[in-house]
A and B are shown apart, each in its own frame.
Chain A
């Protein structure tokens, strides 16, 4: 891809966002870690990565260690995907047209790690940092904007962005989840700093207390506002918007810790605290586990036999993995909620629907701003064409015209998609627009399709 180095300036170090919405949903995880999950079967899922065409590197029955590559990217075969645990490959699950969906690995009782060697970051060059990450299977932790795809190791981004807080509904508390990881995170930003300047956005409300405030060799920004203020895409938009031909990288705090551990311990160690949340989670709290663990390992946290949906990630843009599914590579949250496949008599005509939340004033839930709701997955209406036009802007703190962008995506009009900002967004940034949409349009899917078209035409 064509890429130019451009001098860019920081537009602001303190960002105040007025628009947005904090979803009042029940089921925040209490800040204690009750359980360390001893995984049974874990899965490495190529579907966690947009547009990835995977190449299988192992066969059923193969022994792997934590850090042994099991998949590679067919397009650039130095990008590897590692097993999070040591164990035996038990099954390769394929879907339609033999599409590779999961590599399932039965974990050993005792975890053994591939030794990548402890490295002192200060002595490494940018190329050596890249090599280390590629070899250890941690490269996929770096996401590229535009498009939200795995970063291309051949390119140099204009900057690397980290959002050090999450505003997504019921998201894991970053400070709690990464408590004690400061050294690892510092090592990671030092390493990534060799490649490009690292920007870290912290929550303005938590500026003095945050772990990330102590980081060195980074440019700190404070951001205040409701969700999606914690989305890295929104932050980039206000700090150094992605123009055509430019590339930035993003890394989540959880992945920073893993990258740091690679250098400080020489291990592929992606163990993390995972928040088990949601209205149907029983005693929501944190557990310690790996990406790829089975939902079944969380059975203490829900009542079997209920009609439930299991979301890997948050309720706005996570993935429905089902009771038999596995946690995603990037996720440190599971949301458990009820399937809402029930009819409601004259629901839309009732003056009050006390158990339901609406961000609009057509119901009265705005009069009880502190109330939390047991939300379920009912669509609460039928799909329609775009009618309302001012609801989307109220929850999108970006200088974009979401309906214009979406219509350009629907029309497959690449020029207009560029113009209206397809380089600056991924699905999660418009997830709230989808939540409030009275026409029940699958807005994130439209963005997914739009990005897929861009990737097909531009790369």
Chain B
């Protein structure tokens, strides 16, 4: 440890202002603070500080995402082998999944972190660790076969336009990971929806199949959302809970996502109010749709289909873009869940509503907070007067 510290101390002057590589100051700083908690001491105010920092909070989210990611890797291989009738073993499937998913991660982190480093350098800030989580999320919410160049453009858009122009992590209005997905969805709809994008190799396979080989006869790569009827989904309910269905890389397994939710709630990193009220909102509208005949699926199906749970646990709870006030969190969460299912049930254009629901509520979160805060100030003023 001392050797490493000495080495870092030795090369440090090179990266400081006026040093040969001074233009890489923020980058060096990011790596140094990654390796070592800095020796900075408090200068004013509280002389001691809690040992939690943003790095710790972010790493907790990354850990919470691991079950969904690992399952997603395996499921990518599993879906592929199913579609093409391959009799693969476990490691074969994992290997295929890794080959598919690792490039997504490489693109996500290289493009995203690259932009973060450059903008931190330009602004003279320290590199914020917010992208550690965004970069982890992005590959999990895109179809596995999304072309890498598209992903790169989308990530660049989300980080630059969605975050850095507002001032970086903590200042952004929309969740950067969802913005990436929205960009892909609206710019390249054919790569983001339909029956063939959700399974690795299938888009290519479909053409090959017409030529007479590859895909299993009559196999459909549609996600459960594409044809959400009871006759269709009842036999698949357990598959949807385990996650052995086509879909975005990390969103399919309810069990893996709930494992992540337990970690987030245990550590207090994500708000249980948002998670709980989002589920409540989803169930409410789900059952309303069931009662009015908009769907023949009981409300709880809405929770296990598509990206609902993933969005509820990992995206809606983003502390920067969600509601900031405790009361606002109830409203915000409920509306996220309710809107997502509303889009699913009553908008024939989009089979999945979670992404749009969260982005819309990100937009309105400050408004919700505004009224919560105003209301509280007024109530308090009244109490003081009448008391």
Chain A residues in the interface with B (C-beta under 8 A): 8-9, 11, 23, 25, 241, 243, 309, 311, 315-318, 320, 335, 337, 339-349, 353, 356-363, 375-390, 393, 399, 401, 403-404, 419-420, 427, 431-432, 434-440, 442-445
Contact = CB atoms under 8 A, between A and B. Distances in A.
Query: What 6 pairs across the A-B complex have the smallest Cβ distances?
Result: A381-B53, A385-B170, A347-B37, A444-B45, A356-B51, A344-B37
B266 A442 contact: no
11 contacts: A241-B384, A320-B47, A343-B39, A345-B1, A345-B5, A345-B35, A378-B37, A378-B39, A380-B53, A384-B54, A438-B57
B238 interface: no
Given A381-B54, A435-B49, A436-B52, 10 more contacts: A243-B384, A348-B59, A377-B48, A379-B42, A382-B33, A385-B128, A386-B170, A387-B54, A436-B50, A438-B54
Contacts of A420: 373, 377
Nearest to B32: A343
Given A380-B37, A399-B380, A442 B43 contact: yes
Interface in B335-387: 373, 376-377, 380-381, 383-384, 387
A361 B50 contact: no
Contacts of A383: 126
Contacts of A381: 37-38, 49, 52-55
Interface of B: 1, 4-5, 33, 35-57, 59-60, 126, 128, 130, 167-171, 266-269, 271, 319-320, 324-326, 373, 376-377, 380-381, 383-384, 387
A385 B39 contact: no
Nearest to A11: B387
Contact of A438 (B37, B48, B50): B50
A363 B52 contact: yes
A385 B172 CA distance: 11
Contact of A343 (B5, B267, B381): B5
B39 A357 contact: no
A335 B325 CA distance: 35
Contacts of B326: 390, 393
B376 A341 contact: no
Nearest to A343: B36
Contacts of B45: 317, 427, 431, 434, 442-445
B44 A362 contact: no
A8 B39 CA distance: 50
A94 to B, nearest CB: 22
B53 A359 contact: no
A235 B56 CA distance: 34
Contact of A315 (B47, B167, B268): B47
Contacts of B373: 401, 404, 420
Contact of B38 (A349, A379, A384): A379
Contacts of B271: 390
A426 to B, nearest CB: 12
Contacts of A243: 381, 384
Given A358-B50, A362-B60, A387 B380 contact: no
A405 to B, nearest CB: 10
Listed residue (B1, B56, B170) with the most chain A CB atoms within 10 angstroms of its CB: B56
Contacts of A442: 43-45
Listed residue (B39, B52, B268) with the most chain A CB atoms within 10 angstroms of its CB: B52
Contact of A387 (B1, B46, B130, B268): B130
B36 A360 contact: no
B169 A343 contact: no
B46 A316 contact: yes
Nearest to A403: B324
A337 B41 CA distance: 12
A443 B44 CA distance: 9
A434 B387 CA distance: 32
Contact of B48 (A399, A435, A439): A435
A378 B54 CA distance: 15
Nearest to B377: A419
A299 B380 CA distance: 50
Nearest to A378: B41
A444 B44 contact: yes
Given A362-B57, A403-B324, A341 B41 contact: yes
